[in-house]
Amino acid sequence: MFSESIVHIFFLFLVLFIGTFRAFDIELTVLIPASQRECFHQVLEAGKTVEIEYEVLAGGDIDINYWFYSPTNRVLQSDFKKRDGHQTLKLEESGEYRFCFDNSVSRFNQKQVYFSLRLVNEQGHNEQDRITESWMNDVARDELGELQDKIQNFKDIFQRIWDNMEAAQRYQKVFNNYEVHDRVIAENNFEKVNFWSIIHLVLMISVSVVQVVTIRSLFESKSAYGKLLRGKK
């Protein structure tokens, strides 16, 4: 009976644990038109630590300008003509922050940009808003006895699983960005190879036609081109 109750509590706690996490994690893939600037706004609280990542996936020279503004319009971070960036910053103000991407470095090519914003703790993991289980707070530790230790063990195990899953998910997204970037480069190279192959083919055919016409003209007495080549009027 005791083991069955432990199993029931295990599954109950699993459901409560999964449902009590709300991680702040924003990810966007946006297109920045040529010679344009796009800004994104997010309300954040002072004292939080924010992690910002961006990467240009496709377009032009694969670079872009980036600015991070505070609610009072102070420039907190900036990058110029970078392909990617990663910054971690502790916020000192509460309010609406701005994240801007400027594609003025390119007059003709739009840029595809991946952008990620999340709140992190001291360990670099997502900062989660936990809802404390009221039924646990209402029960004294002495009344739970050994069950409290088992619940704590479950919490520690679930936390490690959560952190590992989060890390694996982020690695998958990074690898996916690399795959998109490499695929775009491969497609661009394929188009360039096809274009120059057609140019070379046209040149080879043109040169072949000119050579055939030139040789035939040398052996034709009535050919004006042949007479010109032979130096006869």
pLDDT in the model for residue 39: 92
Render pLDDT for 134-152 as a digit per residue (tens, 0 to 9). Answer: 545 555 555 556 677 777 7
Q: Which amino acid is at 125?
A: H
Q: Is the pLDDT of residue 225 over 90?
A: no
| Single pTM value for the model | 0.56
Render pLDDT for 63-103 as a digit per residue (tens, 0 to 9). Answer: 899 999 999 999 999 899 888 888 888 898 999 999 899 99
- At a CB cut-off of 8 Å and minimum separation 6, what does 100 contact? 37, 38, 39, 40, 66, 67, 68, 69
Please report which confidence band the pLDDT of residue 171 belongs to, taking 50, 70 and 90 as the band edges. Answer: confident
- Quote the mean pLDDT of the chain: 77
- At a CB cut-off of 8 Å and minimum separation 6, what does 216 contact? 223, 226
For residue 22, the SS3 value is: coil
Q: Which two tokens stand for residue 7?
A: 């199993």
Tell whether the torsion through CA atoms of 141, 146, 149 and 150 is positive or negative: negative
**23-124: CATH number:** 2.60.120.380
Q: What is the mean pLDDT of residues 204-223?
A: 83
Q: Is the pLDDT of residue 106 over 70?
A: yes
pLDDT in the model for residue 132: 45
Please report which confidence band the pLDDT of residue 116 belongs to, taking 50, 70 and 90 as the band edges. Answer: confident
For residue 38, the SS3 value is: strand
C-beta of residue 140 within 8 angstroms of C-beta of residue 2: no
The closest of 183, 165, 177, 205 to 18, measured between CA atoms, is 165
Render pLDDT for 39-52 as a digit per residue (tens, 0 to 9). Answer: 999 998 888 889 88
Q: Is the pLDDT of residue 35 over 90?
A: no
Share of the chain above pLDDT 70, in %: 75
Instruction: Parse the chain into domains and list their residue ranges.
Output: 23-124
Which stretch, 27-36, 128-137, 150-159, 181-190, has highest mean pLDDT?
27-36
State the pairing for strand pair 84-90/49-58.
antiparallel
For residue 188, the SS3 value is: helix
Please report which confidence band the pLDDT of residue 16 belongs to, taking 50, 70 and 90 as the band edges. Answer: very low
Q: Which of 20-24, 28-32, 35-39 has the lowest mean pLDDT?
A: 20-24
